[in-house]
Structure formats: C-alpha cells, structure tokens
Structure 1
C-alpha cells in the first residue's frame, strides 16, 4: 500500500492511544470505501518506522482488527482487508474540557459500549473556547456521524461577587422550582453562551450534535445528557440536611475564573435561605478564618487537600467541628480522612446514555442521575 498515510492517521497529541488510532483509521477507511476487500495493509515494521512508534503498538492494533474479522494475515504475504461489512454504525467526534478522573469515567463508559460499533476520536480543549473552535473546524473534513461534547469554558473577565451573605428579594419555593431574576444568576461563560451557540449553529449540523452536562436551550431541542446543576445541588443538600443540622454555616468554595456553572451558586443559596443556614461563597480557603460549626462544599479536586490542611492546622475535627461535602467521587475520597461525603452526577450513566444515543441514533434530552454518598466528613 503506497498511500497508507492517507488511510492511517496518528496524532501524537491526541489523548486516544496510538494503537486505537490505527484501529479507528482502518475501520473508518473500510466504512467509507478508502480500503476495499483484499487491499493490502502496511507491514508491522513499516508502520512502526514511518510513524516512529513501537512494533507492539502496531501488533496490538492489528490483533484487535483480526479479532473482529476486519483484517487477516497470510504468512509471507502480510496483512489484508478481510471484510468491509463490519458492524460500524458511527464515527464519533468526542470533545471534552479536561480528562479529570470523573471525565475519565464518563469516557470509559461511553467507549466501552461503542468500541465494536463506532470509531471514537477524543479531543480535549482545556476549558479554552479558542481550542474548542479549532478542534471543531479541523474535524469538518473527517465525515463524523456524531459530535458529542460539553461546553465548559473559563471566562477570564468573570468577576466573582464578593458578598453573598445577604440575599435580597429571594423567593424561596415550597419544594423546588427554578428561581428567576436572582442577583447572582448570570451566565458569564463566553459572552453568555452567545458565541458558542452562534459558532455551533454555523459549523455543525445540529442533528449530529449530542450535548453533555449543560443544556443550551438557545440551540433548540438538541439531543443531550444534562445535569440540572441548580436543582441537583439543592436536592442533594436537602437529603444531607439531617446531618448538616449540627452546623450553622455553609460555605461554597467556588474558584475564581472557574468553568463551573453559576446555577450551582443559585441552588446553594436557595437551600441555605430556605433552611435557615448562614451562607457565603468564597474563592478559596487559603486565608479563611475557620470557625466551628461550618460546612465547606468543595467543587474542585485540587482545592480539597488545601481545605483539609487548613482544617487540621486549626486543630478542628473533620465531621465534628467542620464538615466537608465534595463534588464528584473518586477512589481517594473513600479513604481520605476516613471518607469524604460527596455529591455527584453519575458519570458512568452519563457516558452510557450518550453512547446509547449514538448506537440507536436517538435524539433525546435525558436528565442524568445525581447521587449522594454519605461518609464521615459530615
């Protein structure tokens, strides 16, 4: 095969493992007809040399393709295309903001369902709108059947309101409804999402789009698996309220220039107002003057260790003097200080729901489950 570089594409900067990139390239080529029945593939050695990768990487890729009856080999003649009638149903462009432990769970659940039925190209945009746009623009020549993505961006111009202690004219609902016109309910993410919406409408066929995490109503009824950030934190705190009653203050650690949705603040303040807790929203705990009977809700992984150190340096007992609630579970949180109480969307379900939409070519809007795991930190 003289033109195999037109068929097999390997990106050194992709998060997708190189053997999987080879698999995806071959499977995609057999689907669109670039590779035909009995076409010869480059040898293991040739592919390894041309792309400066290990032989083991190529062997692993070819072994997977053989196992799925897409290619075969003849001693002395090499590898060839055995079948172009594979079960591929989709070619997926997957774009997420970062590969954190929680997003890794999402990806693993998503890919485990689609491995034999789709090629998946994973891209990371690091919460940066420019990178987000670049990846999408570069994808347009690759004939993707589905675009699966979330939209979490850091807004460098975002000014965090300093004092949330007093909530004026805030209507507390009996059960839970969305509260409109609240002082802090502003979506600062990339010019109120206007730029994102305009860009997606221009550059992507919306019937191919599946959104993760955040709904974007400005796009219309777009398929997606979403978190109801405002309602989820409210109901989670209601569930934890019997344990929280021994505290009188709850503080939300919401980092400056965070990509986290402001709806989290709204749900938090709604709960504290309704249930009579003193509350505030802080950027970090570095200079925090900690007092007993306070609960801290930690959102970002990197802030949790700092929070624990700060509590211990004040000789407070976690789960007695100071409570901790953390977003998104990890194995470490099961054992850290005898267990951290967590509230979290179900990232496995999020990935599974999105994968099934691709597999069945469905266009639903699914509210993802949100879980509470009680441990000793509260």
Structure 2
C-alpha cells in the first residue's frame, strides 16, 4: 500500500471525521490509494493521527455510504473505485445558482467528489484560489467575470480540464464552454413578445451600479427598442429609479425587483396593470410573487447537466443554453 498523508487540523472549522474523509478521497483521486488497496486499519489511524475510535469509524462509514470503500470482515477496508475530484468555482450563491449546483450534483457519477468555492468578483481572491487549486483536480468548472487578468489566470489550468460556464468572457477561443447568451437571445425574447411590450408607453432598463450583469444586455435592449420604434431609456443610478405609471421595467437584480415592488405598494400600482415588470433569472419564488413575475432566464438546470456531462465524458464542450421569456401576470 502506498503511503499517503492524513491531514488533520486541530483548529479547523471542519469536523475531524470530515477531514479524514477528505484526506482519503484526495489520496484516491491522486492515485496514492488505488482500487483494491487496503486502507489503514482503525487501530493504525488511531495511533498515527490521535483520532478517536468513533471519529475513524464515522469517517469509514461515510466512505462506505458513498461507495468509495467496502469492508471485508476480519480483513479491513478496501478502495472500491477511483475518485474524480472536481473544482466548482462560482461567482456568488444566489437562488438560481442553487438550481445549477443541485442539477450538477444530480447528474454526476457517484465516484465524483466536488469542492465548491466562490470568488465574489474579487480578482485577488480569484487568483489566490485558482493558484491553490492547481494540480489537485481532474476538472475545473469556473464562472468567469469581466476582468483583464482573468484570462491570464485561467490559462494556468490545462485547457482540456477547464470548462467555463454561464458567461463566456475573458477566455480563449477554443475554451470549453456551457454558456448563456446575454445579447441576441434577449433581443429575440423581446421580439417574440412584442405586443405585450407595446402595451406600455415606455420600456425602461434599470442597470444599477452594483450589478455585474453583462453589458451586452444593454446593447441589445437599445437595439430592440430602436428597431421596433419603442420609446425607451436605460437608467443607472438609484435616485433615477422612480416607478411611473404605464412603464415597463426590465430588471437584472432581485434587489431592484424588491425595490420596485415596494414602490408599487406605496403608490397603489399593480404589476401587470399600471406598471410592467420583466425580471432577469428565474427563481423558485418568482412564479408566486404578486401572482407571478415575468422572467427572462436561461436553463440553469440544463447548464448544470451539461457541466456534469463534461466531467464524465472527457470530450470537448461548446454549448449555448437556450434563453426564454416566461410570461406571467406582471407583464
């Protein structure tokens, strides 16, 4: 049996049994422990790592539950399958990202272990976490963002191991991608629902200063309104976001949606009557709020499924997830 390192940190917030599980999974994924090899005995681990018997048994029970190891009476614990370690690097954890995450996990094979991290659009944190992850994973699933250093940083990852999801920005032309279209797809969704949009005297896109939403949406919003001769405006500052009767609002932030609904309540406006609302990104609650909020959204469940397919297939991936407009009472 190859020697592998068990890393247990006394002051870590991670429970010791989980640290032991992670150490063994790391060893299997890096071929320090191979299929059919025997794990250290319970007594050996107690002696070498100063862990309690309960902690070791709990860790081995968890590994058995995952199908990673099996126990043979009077012999010990053996590795049953190779583990593929995947690094999933998201921007932030919002409701629609939860849909993506659970779909990703649902469609993965049982021998895949996923580590999840968030960069919060912080380039320093993005680079630090990427650098610390290099060489530790078989596949890297990363949500990029628009910063000039991003391309330089992700080029450290072998191209065949990297999948860029959601926003194909700051990447090489031959990158593996599962992306949404923030431009032409938005234009097409509006064009397919032109008569509903024409019910309102003015179409207003609020692009607040705190959003990281791709600016392609602004370009194609203006193009749509110009092409179809719709009175329109893009506003950027919170003080300009004052709800007016007979206007349709296109919102890319749930924070601004809450603000709009508060203003509607104060002014006695009913979404879908005195004002219209189109919100970006579907969440589980939007179909229930105010009898339903109209959303323009990509299929995050499909995005998670295609990302899982990249992990399991070892084939190149270049896929655009469809964007749709779901009409509800707010339009």
Q: How many residues align?
A: 325
Residues 111, 355 of structure 1: 8 Å contact kept: yes
Partner of 2:64: 66
Partner of 2:122: 128
Partner of 2:321: 368
Q: Deviations over 1:121-156 (max 9, x none)?
A: 1111111111111110011242x111110112xxxx
Partner of 1:198: 152
Residues 86, 138 of structure 2: 8 Å contact kept: yes
**Partner Cα separation in structure 1 for residue 226 and residue 10 of structure 2:** 54
Provide structure 1 residue ranges, at least 5 long, that are not aligned to the other structure: 153-188
Partner of 2:141: 148
**Are 1:322 and 2:320 counterparts?**
no
Distance 1:207 1:71, change over 3 A: closer
TM-score after normalising by structure 2: 0.86
Which of residues 22, 26, 29 is equivalent to 1:28? 26
**Partner Cα separation in structure 2 for residue 228 and residue 9 of structure 1:** 44
**Partner Cα separation in structure 1 for residue 125 and residue 304 of structure 2:** 23
Residues 285, 307 of structure 1: 8 Å contact kept: no
**Are 1:39 and 2:33 counterparts?**
no
Distance 1:145 1:296, change over 3 A: same
Q: Deviations over 1:238-272 (max 9, x none)?
A: 22222112102111121214211110111111111
CA RMSD, 1 decimal: 3.3
**Partner Cα separation in structure 2 for residue 11 and residue 210 of structure 1:** 34
**Partner Cα separation in structure 2 for residue 107 and residue 290 of structure 1:** 35
Partner of 1:81: 77
Deviation of the 1:207 alpha carbon: 2.0
Deviation of the 1:340 alpha carbon: 0.4
**The 10-residue stretch of structure 1 (112-121 or 19-28) with the greater mean CA deviation from structure 2:** 19-28
Residues 211, 253 of structure 2: 8 Å contact kept: no
Q: How does 1:71-110 map to 2 (within 5 A)?
A: 71-73=69-71, 80-84=76-80, 86-88=81-83, 90-110=84-104
Provide structure 2 residue ranges, at least 5 long, that are not aligned to the other structure: none
Partner of 2:6: 6
Residues 148, 212 of structure 1: 8 Å contact kept: yes
Distance 1:282 1:335, change over 3 A: same
**Are 1:139 and 2:137 counterparts?**
no
